[in-house]
Chain A
């Protein structure tokens, strides 16, 4: 098994300590930091995402794998210059105004990051104007809106209305949200779960 394969396996099994050691070893062997991310860490998280989507693993396992991936990222990221850093795109993610739930939003952030996106997590209870501010500051390709409550999903529409004048695609998700509702409020994509959010993001940046 190659070092990168071993690293991917350690991400999948959630061994943060081993991922950190292997990342340090890869650097010591002269591997490019970006290659360590692209060929060691991200492939591991891609498999985690696929297994999660297939209900083969569950939220805690995804979180533990994400922690392991971060242990590797923490080793190699400081060695990347801004110019070296490549990612698939930038995504601003937040839970909409009035809603304090964060599990779904956090999972989406981890899965997107694991798939190679730069993720700007702007937290929970985010007003439409705060999403606009984050878009102006970070120039993302995608904004992800999360809501767990029927009573707060209305703020998805308000946020989308404010974002219409910006060159950004909006993806929505959360327990009460449906494909039909996403279409009604003018979202560009609906993701039923965190793994699907990666698929939808890939489609949006490719479109």
Chain B
């Protein structure tokens, strides 16, 4: 088989059609790795270019590219306070301190969400990734990044279902109290968030730009789900299906992202029609072999532990794990291999290089 393009490799893998090797996906947030791959020192000025160069040299697919920024703290129009760093944005304070204050905010936010206008940015999630950080339209930002990335598939958007947007905005304590006190209000809020996202999807989705997107809501810890299956079945899965259907209506495949152990509700996820799951947090008990056996047509994206293995393991351990994950999860397709969320600053450069090298050589051998 001849060398495929990254897009051919990613699409074929997700459709379980022949590929030349396993596609490699990741989110790179590691300056020593970027400097090793490019041979240049990273600065705020050249950071985005060097990051994209590293990605284009090594990855078939990526998401959530953030340009370097000076660290800063800022307050948005609603009074949410954010601390912004290059790789992440933290919500550090909220404009309400009790359930009553949260409920007042929710009522106002529902009205804002219902007043969707084409071109609206997703004003909360957008702040945490590339789509909210510039004055240009999402399409213009995408085109600029894609040009820097060459052949690598860039996910067009990170698409929130709304549940984690809501609980992160509210804080988990106040979110839980508010749901206990007035479940209908929270339910209305979650629906307004999902409806807003569906409208946004129909504005931005374009198969010619990218064949895959990442839909997300973090729902689980290392040891269990955050929310009960009953709650998720009532308040989450129908809205995940709504968002998934919207992307599918444009021919775009959906990979769903949540950290943690999701096995208790994996049947529910698959029933929504998602095409894949990420990051398959193996250290949390997500077993690639078990998932492949039970869900033979579900693509897995991730699988290589970035919590212990990539930062603290040896190259030999990384090589063995990559081979194991390929053996268990790559049946000629169905796997986009990568870290279990991101190549963060503590991952050893030599381990990351070993992961990529082993993925290439071992999967071609298969």
Contact A59 B180 (CB under 8 A): no
Question: Which residues of chain A come closer than 8 Å to B346, judged between CB atoms?
Answer: 150-151
Q: Is the CB of B311 within 8 A of A150?
A: yes
CB pair A58–B227 under 8 Å, yes or no, is yes
Query: Of A41-49, A60-68, A83-91, which binds chain B?
Result: A60-68
Report the separation of the CA atoms of residues A193 and B261 in the bound assembly, to the nearest whole angstrom: 14
Contact between chains at B344 and A59 (CB < 8 Å): no
Known: A63-B173, A193-B223. A176 touches B345 (CB 8 A): no
Interface string of A98-124 (1 = CB under 8 A from B): 001001101000000000000000000
Taking CB atoms and an 8 Å cut-off, the chain B residues in 276-323 that contact chain A are: 306-308, 311
A178 at the interface (CB under 8 A from B): yes
Contacts of B223 in A (CB 8 A): 55, 192-193
Which A residues touch B141, using CB under 8 A? none
Given A14-B180, A60-B227, A193-B223, decide whether A150 and B172 contact each other with a Cβ distance below 8 A. no
Residues B331-351 near A (CB distance < 8 A)? 344-346
A80 at the interface (CB under 8 A from B): no
Which residues of A lie under 8 Å from residue B259 when comparing CB positions?
175
Complex CA–CA separation, A151 to B341 (angstroms) = 14
- Which residues of chain B have C-beta atoms less than 8 A from A192's C-beta? 222-223
Supposing A58-B227, A151-B344 touch, asked if A64 and B176 sit within 8 A by C-beta, the answer is yes
B180 touches A178 (CB 8 A): no
B307 touches A59 (CB 8 A): no
Min CB–CB distance B26 → chain A (angstroms): 15
Check A63/B90 contact, CB under 8 A, given A176-B308, A192-B223: no
B90:A100 contact, CB within 8 angstroms: yes
CB-CB under 8 A from B180, the residues of chain A are: 14, 60, 64
* A178 and B227 form a contact (CB under 8 A): no
Give B66-103 interface residues, CB cut-off 8 Å to A.
Answer: 83, 90, 92
Contact B172 A103 (CB under 8 A): yes
Within 8 A of A (CB), among B147-183: 172-173, 175-177, 179-180
Over the window 173-194 of chain A, the binary record of Cβ atoms lying under 8 Å from chain B Cβ atoms (1 yes, 0 no) is 0011010010000000000110
Give min CB distance, A147 to chain B, whole Å.
11
Chain A residues, CB < 8 A from B179: 60
Check A178 against B90 for contact (C-beta < 8 Å): no
Assembled-state Cα–Cα distance A8/B284 (Å): 33
B176 partner, pick from A55, A59, A150, A175, beta carbons under 8 A: A59
Shortest 4 CB-CB distances between A and B: which pairs? A60-B176, A63-B176, A176-B307, A58-B228
Of the A-B pairs whose beta carbons lie under 8 Å apart in the complex, a sample of 21, sorted by A's number, is A14-B180, A55-B223, A57-B228, A59-B227, A60-B172, A60-B179, A60-B228, A63-B172, A63-B173, A63-B176, A63-B177, A64-B177, A67-B173, A67-B177, A100-B83, A100-B92, A106-B172, A106-B173, A150-B308, A175-B222, A193-B221
